[in-house]
Structure 1
């Protein structure tokens, strides 16, 4: 079920995912509002109402103590939503309402509740542990029809101020508060939605450009792409453009290489064919039968080498994909074997070996082909000498031939690249594949005193094999 849900989400576009996100956000906020906010609005309203009562009584108390004013006029100047009453106690201890008596007595229940509280507070005040002191308030909640909250404050020993808050004001305050919260919520959600839509649009637009660019490349059409962004999308777009340029370059180089390989294969085949036909007719194209056969053998060897390189290039991925993590090869044995087999190519070149037993991780056949390609490359360009050095850390093959142009060095190990003599080859690309598959690295460097050296060594993060 969880997998199906994930697949369902993945089928949605970014815009649809955004809409789902907004709906979930609004639903969650609605539940939160009605459960949490609605449950707290009464508490907030009650707090605000008692604050209003307290401020009203503070003002009336201040005026009462500082100005000689009639209590009737004082009460009439009060807040229209708060009804204030002055209760005065006579000599017999009975409280009388000096103002608004008829209006208060209309609500007999609250009048009785207020009056009973006056008597209770009066009894406490007269007792030995009186707590109702002058100018202190007692706030009460009364579930009446017209009034809900009221507050009692003693102004003098025989004068008490009672303020009652009208239900109409309470309901109006609560309604206004809830409406404001809803308005703010709608505004925030709307603003959030607009910002998210702009943000998603800013993402979708370059993605569509990238998709169109890839579609045109896929069908072989010319395509250009310019996305002026510095974020991850811009990096992807730049990488795609760079990749396309590299692929175009490799495709062009591959076509040229295929043409050259075809020519390289055609030449020895034509030579072998023509020499064979001539010998069959009793004609020796190269003076004698033995020399003519030597030409055929030499061209056959050239042809075999070309075919073997092409076949191994196709097989190298399979060979390197085999599990060889626990296989190690003694590179001294590999070097000795390769030198013995290849030194006959140019016997006049001195091959000096400074080798010791050293274990390299990887398949022996792959390492043999790797060293063979490096040594044949060295024999091709060496003038008089090749030096092979092998220790526990690296394998180095030096030749005293001409140095490699600096502009060629960065692409020397890429497939289908031209060499320094302008010809194509797969040898060094095979070397690179073998070396990197075993987690080694290979570099070519020009030597200051002359010549070129190829080095194969462990990556710095790998431990040495013992």
Structure 2
């Protein structure tokens, strides 16, 4: 069923409901109504006995005033009446002899004053009740009976009417099912077509957004995805253009310098200077390729915590500071202690290294590193006194631009590493009283010690 269309499923569901109701009516209601009609038939038989009470002498009325007797009999609503004596004499009424004999046998064997019976005669049921009466010391039996035709007629008429009602309701229900299926499936079909166009990178595809239900929310979610994919697509195309340009530039420099040196020409004055330019461009090219490969590694390799170990963030920060201290004339300041976290040391080093590299690039005179921690988290804050950030600059995005218009992956790599360690990284302009404004990158790493302990247990 789940592989069928939604319209088919709605129709099938309504048909199932109709079929179930029909079965209930045919089985349950027919039995209940049959029992109810049986009770009504017997009630009719009992009502016919009103003028055969103990206070009235049926025999005397029959002998002295037959007209009154017949008139009151007609009030019994077409119920046939027999009067039998104890010796089997038929005083009043008439019926097939076979039926009279059966009634007489039942009357003789009857112990209660009144009892109900059902018998079958010539493939038709007969309902009758026998009332035992004592009149002037003699025993008489009053038998009231009706043929099954009355009952069958009631049931047939009733179920005929019910059948018409069910048929009309079924037709109306199917029309409602058709309307509901069309109302639900039409916007879904539109969304399906729109998604197909979005998959083909047709970003101007409209979606049915004028609904407040779940379908409308789905359409708005798809539309938000469309706009995000459009931005991603434009940024990715621009990234490829800029990266290809960034990669071409050092390659062209290396090739031109190498060709010039092979021709005996030294573009930078001498051989040593020219070779150093080649080395710088090769190193620049190596860094760009390494960043791209590292992003691929983070995106496509599953997180493996089996390689995690205890990492001393304080020691790592001091080692990185010694490594970078000679690259630019800056004042370094390191305060506090962050302690040890559980993680992959090489990735944490890359994250801190990328942030420090950016800080050194933009810092004017000072780089400050603040280390702190609690029982659950370790915090590292890296501040520089460079130019403030632009409020709208998504620096942690995969395709974000730097201030010089170049695409960088350094901070995106930082964010991915921190997320893999279930941590958090933020970047903001920091205003500290009368101090100079600074740019602050803040790391929060969970220690994961409690998780490790519970796993060992």
Normalised by the shorter chain, which TM-score bucket?
0.7 to 0.9
Matches within 5 A, 1:405-416: 405-408=390-393, 411-416=394-399
For residues 156 and 459 of structure 1, the distance between their equivalents in structure 2, rounded to whole angstroms, comes to 102
Q: Secondary structure at the match of 2:392?
A: coil
Equivalent position to 1:76, from 71, 74, 79: 74
2:378 paired with 1:397 = no
Matches within 5 A, 1:416-435: 416-419=399-402, 422-435=405-418
Q: Secondary structure at the match of 1:405?
A: coil
Q: Return closer, same or farther for 1:74/1:432 CA change in 2, 3 Å cut-off.
A: same
Shift in Å, 1:75: 0.5
Shift in Å, 1:300: 3.1
> Residue 144 of structure 1 corresponds to which residue in structure 2?
121
- Which is worse superposed, 370-379 or 325-334? 325-334
Q: Is the CA contact (8 Å cut-off) linking 2:341 and 2:447 kept in structure 1?
A: no
> Residue 247 of structure 2 corresponds to which residue in structure 1?
265
Q: Return closer, same or farther for 1:266/1:88 CA change in 2, 3 Å cut-off.
A: closer
Q: Is the CA contact (8 Å cut-off) linking 1:378 and 1:386 kept in structure 2?
A: no
2:35 paired with 1:51 = no
Q: Is the CA contact (8 Å cut-off) linking 2:342 and 2:448 kept in structure 1?
A: no
Deviations 1:327-350 (A, max 9, x none): 224042543443343333324242
> Residue 110 of structure 1 corresponds to which residue in structure 2?
99
Q: Secondary structure at the match of 2:155?
A: helix
Shift in Å, 1:426: 1.1
Deviations 1:396-448 (A, max 9, x none): 2321334333333xx33221023456542111211222222233332223323
2:211 paired with 1:219 = no
Shift in Å, 1:73: 0.9
> Residue 6 of structure 1 corresponds to which residue in structure 2?
none
Q: Return closer, same or farther for 1:365/1:75 CA change in 2, 3 Å cut-off.
A: same
Equivalent position to 2:189, from 208, 224, 244: 208
For residues 252 and 432 of structure 1, the distance between their equivalents in structure 2, rounded to whole angstroms, comes to 22
Q: Is the CA contact (8 Å cut-off) linking 1:228 and 1:234 kept in structure 2?
A: yes
Shift in Å, 1:168: 1.9
Q: Which runs of 5+ in 1 are unaligned?
A: 1-8, 125-130
Q: Which runs of 5+ in 2 are unaligned?
A: 58-64
Shift in Å, 1:293: 4.5
Q: Return closer, same or farther for 1:442/1:97 CA change in 2, 3 Å cut-off.
A: farther
> Residue 369 of structure 1 corresponds to which residue in structure 2?
350
For residues 241 and 62 of structure 1, the distance between their equivalents in structure 2, rounded to whole angstroms, comes to 89
Q: Secondary structure at the match of 2:388?
A: coil
Q: Secondary structure at the match of 2:328?
A: coil
Q: Return closer, same or farther for 1:329/1:251 CA change in 2, 3 Å cut-off.
A: farther
Q: Is the CA contact (8 Å cut-off) linking 2:342 and 2:447 kept in structure 1?
A: no
Q: Return closer, same or farther for 1:55/1:452 CA change in 2, 3 Å cut-off.
A: farther
Q: Return closer, same or farther for 1:349/1:251 CA change in 2, 3 Å cut-off.
A: farther
Q: Is the CA contact (8 Å cut-off) linking 1:71 and 1:98 kept in structure 2?
A: no
Deviations 1:17-60 (A, max 9, x none): 44555665666666666655555554343233223333454598
Q: Return closer, same or farther for 1:304/1:118 CA change in 2, 3 Å cut-off.
A: closer
For residues 50 and 340 of structure 2, the distance between their equivalents in structure 1, rounded to whole angstroms, comes to 97
For residues 300 and 309 of structure 1, the distance between their equivalents in structure 2, rounded to whole angstroms, comes to 14
Q: Is the CA contact (8 Å cut-off) linking 2:128 and 2:145 kept in structure 1?
A: yes
Q: Secondary structure at the match of 1:70?
A: helix
For residues 399 and 62 of structure 1, the distance between their equivalents in structure 2, rounded to whole angstroms, comes to 115
Deviations 1:281-302 (A, max 9, x none): 6665556665555444433332
Equivalent position to 2:438, from 444, 447, 451: 451
For residues 222 and 70 of structure 2, the distance between their equivalents in structure 1, rounded to whole angstroms, comes to 87
Q: Is the CA contact (8 Å cut-off) linking 1:398 and 1:451 kept in structure 2?
A: no
> Residue 4 of structure 1 corresponds to which residue in structure 2?
none
> Residue 13 of structure 1 corresponds to which residue in structure 2?
5
Q: Secondary structure at the match of 1:345?
A: coil
For residues 253 and 160 of structure 1, the distance between their equivalents in structure 2, rounded to whole angstroms, comes to 105
Matches within 5 A, 1:251-290: 251-277=233-259, 285-286=267-268, 290=272
Q: CA-atom RMSD, angstroms?
A: 3.9
Q: Return closer, same or farther for 1:54/1:253 CA change in 2, 3 Å cut-off.
A: same
> Residue 158 of structure 2 corresponds to which residue in structure 1?
177
Shift in Å, 1:209: 0.5
Q: How many corresponding residue pairs?
A: 432
TM-score w.r.t. structure 1 length? 0.77
TM-score w.r.t. structure 2 length? 0.78
Q: Is the CA contact (8 Å cut-off) linking 2:379 and 2:445 kept in structure 1?
A: no
- Which is worse superposed, 159-168 or 283-292? 283-292
Q: Secondary structure at the match of 2:235?
A: helix
